[in-house]
Structure 1
Amino acid sequence: MTNPSKAKGTRWESETRDFLNDRGFTVRRVVQMGNKDQGDLHGYPLHIIEAKNEKTIRLPEYIRQAEREAINAGQPFGVAFVKRPRASTGDGYAVRSIATDTRLIARMRDMEDALKAAAPAAWALIDKQYREAT
């Protein structure tokens, strides 16, 4: 007999993977690694994803776990993708600490500045593509 909580978590991991892959990423589920766990999903650029589908949402625990597992996996950023009750996958929550978010946005800003200086036309096309919130 399978553990219902484990099955629920596996289902959320698979739904999240499929959602991201449908949007052009190449994300895969990974096996648990014990005390050197490297997160649930890999292939989301610069991140590991810790997928959580629990009745009681415990953000501090999820953020600590995602950040620890990002270090274990050699990635700069960890994020917890948390299932929102009775909502679609895309309406779930992406959760990270403010410190991690600040590092991510600073990196993005610096990369954008570098691209804009090196290839302004390419920068303009990418900027236009992602300008509006969807």
Structure 2
Amino acid sequence: MALMPDGGAVANPSKARGTAWESAVRDHLNEVLGLVDEHGKFKDIFSALNIRRPAQEGAKDVGDVHAPPFVLECKDVKAPAVPTWLRQAQVEATHAGYPYGVVVHKVRRAGVGRGRVHFDIRTWTRVRLALGVSTRRMRERYGFIPAVRGLDSTRWYLSTDVENFTQLVADIRVVMT
């Protein structure tokens, strides 16, 4: 059995790793966005902007972490399957009622800030338009790198790291308010 950060035990080590990664991403975003105090407690427990790990209810998965306006599908696995994960993130964002679904993939032997955040082309474009920035500005400001997989554009995506994504979250929240 693997131990969880809260001291509980989980029989499946893969599940424990995934849960730990989800919690680390949530905690990192809350801290960097200034949503928690020095003890990790929410400054405003009722704020809709707090980053949370939702309880899964029923057959419709709502994603691993909610970082309004994003649903994050968090993955801590060796072999990436980004296009498949991105389709999953979009479905879960729809279930949760959020406009954007993205994937946060753990990088081995690196801190949370170095984790990779993947956007499908459509989501990236919608976020870029919401921010009102050019393609070049979006790539430069948030450090996006494209990944083109063959001629099928549904397999194309753009990636940045968690640090740059955190800035993007802060920026889009300003635009959306």
Q: TM-score range by the shorter chain?
A: 0.7 to 0.9
Unaligned ranges ≥5, structure 1? 111-129
1:19 aligned to 7, 16, 28, which one?
28
1:59 aligned to 82, 104, 107, which one?
82
2:55 aligned to 19, 23, 31, which one?
31
TM-score normalised by structure 1 residue count: 0.77
Equivalent residue, structure 2, for 1:47 = 70
Inter-CA distance 34–59: structure 2 relative to 1 (3 Å threshold): farther
- Residue by residue, what CA displacement relative to the aligned partner does 1:41-83 show, whole Å, maximum 9, x if unpaired? 11x1211111110121110111011111001111110011110
1:10 aligned to 19, 25, 45, which one?
19
Distance 2:30 2:103 in 1: 17
Distance 2:23 2:115 in 1: 14
Equivalent residue, structure 2, for 1:108 = 131
Shift of 1:34: 4.7
Distance 1:93 1:67 in 2: 17
Unaligned ranges ≥5, structure 2? 2-10, 36-49, 134-170, 172-177
Equivalent residue, structure 1, for 2:157 = none
- Residue by residue, what CA displacement relative to the aligned partner does 1:71-97 show, whole Å, maximum 9, x if unpaired? 111111001111011111000011110
Indicate conservation of the 8 Å contact 2:51/2:68, yes or no: no
- Count of residue pairs the alignment pairs up: 110
**Counterpart AA for 1:29:** R
Structure 1: 4+ residue segments shifted above 6 A = none
Distance 2:113 2:82 in 1: 18
Q: Report the identity percentage.
A: 44
Higher helix content, 1 or 2: 1
